[in-house]
A and B are shown apart, each in its own frame.
Chain A
Amino acid sequence: MQKISKSRLYELFDAVAAKQDLYIPTDREEGAAEYKKYESGMKLTKELNTVRSAKDFFFPQTENLAEFRLEGKNIEVKDIREECDDFVIFGVRACDAKSFTILDKVFLCEPVDSFYKNRRDHGTVITMACTRPAETCFCKTFGIDPTVPGGDVSCFDDGENIFFLANTEKGEKFVESISAFLEDGDTDKLMEVQTRAREIMGKLPLANLSTGNFGGDKLNEYFNSDKWAELSEACIGCGTCTFVCPTCQCYDIKDFNTGHGIKRFRCWDSCMYSDFTKMAHGNPRLTQLERFRQRFMHKLVYFPANNDGEFGCVGCGRCLAKCPISMNIVKVMKALEAK
């Protein structure tokens, strides 16, 4: 496999960033990483993952969709869409890479979301295999092997070298573009690292969590479960879980009057919020129990029902780490399936 010595990695970043925007996960502060546009001198984080997920690249928290101008009885509608420039994201974990295929099912089905597609078309995703999973990791539950991440190019770290493996046409193009930095490398040590990581995966506290009791056919079994009341009791109705989640994809569309025209924008919404899907007739989910239930039923039942059994979770563990009251999908799954 083609590799680069880790001592030359930042040289490579400099070269890539000279041609197009490159984003890497870097420390914002001790213990908190985020993706930032690479500039010379910036260092990769040692954190396993970023606080915010990589979905922001394709589905940003806010974006303008169109502009309107009113003059007399005329409304001028301005299409503000622009082809975005090519960009590269380095260091995406297997869980986040899988989240893109889940988001694709939502945004690239008919009618195609052109805003999302534009960025998807121009973004090259370079993943990084995991070697030190955390106790909150449970990607294995959703069939993800974090030692072999997806994306356009998969990268593997054997301690001294980074190996590059192209998975797509876009990925091949990228690897070709950096070929001057790459040399053939022996993967013996990498195999050892991979085997060790897989052993750790098997020993994680959530290693045996299974989706076996969930899926599109479980609506009647779980919707009226008496467990929801207890599970949602302490929920404070904030949006932390949904906003750090790599697969949560709900958004709201609103018009903003700038005083000299209207900007139509969309922004992330959260099913945990009291005004989620509020319509002219009112709100279909009046209690926090119903809103809480929506989030987990969506990921564990409704999404697989509509997407050939695919679950709406990738087991990244962000909600486990960040929920102010430590309630999360793992606790919900375990409680629901307990007889």
Chain B
Amino acid sequence: MQEAMIKRAKELLADGSVDRVIGWKRGEFAYDITPAVFTSAEELDRDFVCDDFTAANVSKYLVKETQKEGKVLAFLKPCDTYSFNQLVKEHRIDREKVYVIGIEGGPKLDIEKIRAKGITGILGVRNEDYTLKIETIYGTQTMPFYEAVLGKCASCKSKKHVVFDELIGEDGDVLDSNRFEMVEKLENMTAQERFDFWRDQLSKCIRCNACRNVCPACTCENCVFDNPKSGIDNKAPADSFEENMFHIIRAFHVAGRCTDCGECSRVCPQHIPLHLLNRKFIKDINELYGEYQAGADTTSRAPLTDYNKDDCEPSIVHERGVE
């Protein structure tokens, strides 16, 4: 697929259809991919990569890219197209300035899951029939492909591209995913167990803001947590209250807009399963307002910004809060 992508990108650059290409650039190792903008065939030949490690969702970069002159070609995986649509819906991306090529999605790999197996000194990773052959300084190691799959891919919700100008490869379907399993498990806990679970997880937070900054739903020009005038700006989890509230407030703020792209958990250096907070909101919205998938389209009214007579009453909080 990588070769087909490079070929198509070169054609579109050459005939002037686009001025830039956003994709992924290879790094020092097999896995350290950086999202990048390419402007020439030479750059594409030299650095462009699309492989098992190109998990980063490039949709959010298009906010910045479409503020520039000219048109940009974006390669979007199915999950990325949801983020893209949502950003178009929120008028953060100028759709006219992007040429979208839908590409096959994951499952993509998580180098941390390979490392967690005690595999170190990693020089190369090859997928041979869904067994990973990992070249290391200490010899070749193997592990099953599916044990190294990113969390966000393990509970993939859709192989369907909800927006594209053209496709490389086939389009897929919305999947019957298991993504709410862990949320249900948490719901079935006692309040104390659930509190302990989240305290344990959120106490690991180092407030690096990677979750917020990578999140396609977090595109405020100046976040309240960075704005000295907001009165609640803070740079550090000074106490447990702040550790909790940063993530909970963020989850509230993106509720109904989060497409469940899973980038927050992918980038968390402390492996906090932040996506579970967002999935709880998604699940609640589905149950209380009817099935809704943020980013599935660019025109519908979102349940939390719309009013229907059969919407649930605020008292639902008390009804459901009873243990």
* With known contacts A29-B271, A243-B206, A278-B228, A268–B236 Cβ distance under 8 A: yes
Contact A325 B35, beta carbon cutoff 8 Å: yes
Q: Mark A219-237, 1 if CB is under 8 A from B, else 0.
A: 0000000000010011011
Shortest CB-to-CB span from B197 to chain A, Å, is: 13
Number of B residues with CB within 8 Å of any CB on chain A: 48
Q: Within the complex, which residue of B116, B120, B138, B208 is in contact with A48, where a contact is CB–CB below 8 Å?
A: B120
Contact A51 B34, beta carbon cutoff 8 Å: no
Q: Within the complex, which residue of A32, A135, A233, A238 is in contact with B270, where a contact is CB–CB below 8 Å?
A: A32
Q: Within the complex, which residue of A29, A237, A268, A321 is in contact with B235, where a contact is CB–CB below 8 Å?
A: A268
For the complex of A and B, 9 pairs with smallest distance between CB atoms? A31-B116, A267-B236, A324-B267, A326-B32, A238-B210, A236-B213, A239-B208, A240-B208, A238-B213
Residues of A whose CB lies within 8 Å of any CB of B are: 28-32, 46, 48, 51-52, 61-62, 132-136, 200, 203-206, 230, 233-234, 236-240, 242-244, 252, 256, 265, 267-270, 273-275, 278, 320-322, 324-328, 330-331, 334
Q: Mark B239-271, 1 if CB is under 8 A from A, else 0.
A: 000000000000000000000000000110111
Residue of A31, A242, A330 with highest tally of chain B CB at under 10 A: A31
Chain A positions within 8 Å of B61 at CB level: 234
Contact B27 A331, beta carbon cutoff 8 Å: yes
Give Cα A219 to B98, complex, Å: 39
Shortest CB-to-CB span from A202 to chain B, Å, is: 11
Shortest CB-to-CB span from B61 to chain A, Å, is: 7
**Extra pairs beyond A46-B118, A238-B213, A239-B208 (5, CB < 8 Å):** A237-B213, A239-B207, A240-B208, A320-B28, A321-B112
Chain B positions within 8 Å of A275 at CB level: 226-228, 233
Residue contacts A-B, CB under 8 angstroms, 7 given: A31-B116, A61-B237, A62-B237, A133-B137, A234-B61, A243-B206, A269-B235
Chain A positions within 8 Å of B121 at CB level: 132-135, 200, 204
Give Cα A146 to B138, complex, Å: 18
Contact B34 A238, beta carbon cutoff 8 Å: no
Chain B positions within 8 Å of A48 at CB level: 120
Give Cα A28 to B206, complex, Å: 15
Chain B positions within 8 Å of A252 at CB level: 235
Chain A positions within 8 Å of B209 at CB level: 237-239, 273
Contact B36 A234, beta carbon cutoff 8 Å: yes
Give Cα A132 to B212, complex, Å: 35
B115: CB under 8 A from chain A?
yes
Chain B positions within 8 Å of A206 at CB level: 28
Chain B positions within 8 Å of A62 at CB level: 236-238
Give Cα A242 to B112, complex, Å: 19
Chain B positions within 8 Å of A230 at CB level: 36
Shortest CB-to-CB span from B18 to chain A, Å, is: 17
Contact B28 A240, beta carbon cutoff 8 Å: no
Residue of A nearest to B36 (CB): A234
Contact B29 A205, beta carbon cutoff 8 Å: yes
Shortest CB-to-CB span from A269 to chain B, Å, is: 6
Contact A135 B213, beta carbon cutoff 8 Å: no
Contact B228 A243, beta carbon cutoff 8 Å: no
Residue of A nearest to B120 (CB): A134
Contact B137 A256, beta carbon cutoff 8 Å: no
B126: CB under 8 A from chain A?
no
* With known contacts A61-B206, A239-B209, A256-B238, A234–B35 Cβ distance under 8 A: yes
B41: CB under 8 A from chain A?
no
B100: CB under 8 A from chain A?
no
Chain B positions within 8 Å of A268 at CB level: 235-236
B44: CB under 8 A from chain A?
no
Chain B positions within 8 Å of A274 at CB level: 222, 226
Chain A positions within 8 Å of B28 at CB level: 205-206, 320, 330-331, 334
Contact B235 A267, beta carbon cutoff 8 Å: yes
Residue of A46, A200, A205, A233 with highest tally of chain B CB at under 10 A: A233
Q: Mark B183-205, 1 if CB is under 8 A from A, else 0.
A: 00000000000000000000010
Residue of B36, B222, B238, B266 with highest tally of chain A CB at under 10 A: B238
B33: CB under 8 A from chain A?
yes
Chain A positions within 8 Å of B122 at CB level: 134-135
Contact A236 B271, beta carbon cutoff 8 Å: no
Q: Mark B125-149, 1 if CB is under 8 A from A, else 0.
A: 0000000000011100000000000
Chain B positions within 8 Å of A270 at CB level: 208, 235
Q: Within the complex, which residue of B33, B204, B227, B238 is in contact with A265, where a contact is CB–CB below 8 Å?
A: B238
* With known contacts A135-B121, A234-B36, A324–B206 Cβ distance under 8 A: no
Q: Within the complex, which residue of B138, B207, B271 is in contact with A132, where a contact is CB–CB below 8 Å?
A: B138
Contact A132 B56, beta carbon cutoff 8 Å: no
Chain A positions within 8 Å of B227 at CB level: 275
Chain B positions within 8 Å of A239 at CB level: 206-210
Contact B238 A267, beta carbon cutoff 8 Å: yes
Give Cα A269 to B184, complex, Å: 37
Chain B positions within 8 Å of A203 at CB level: 137
Contact A325 B56, beta carbon cutoff 8 Å: yes
Give Cα A234 to B122, complex, Å: 24
Contact B35 A28, beta carbon cutoff 8 Å: no
Chain B positions within 8 Å of A269 at CB level: 235
Chain B positions within 8 Å of A234 at CB level: 34-36, 61
Chain A positions within 8 Å of B212 at CB level: 238
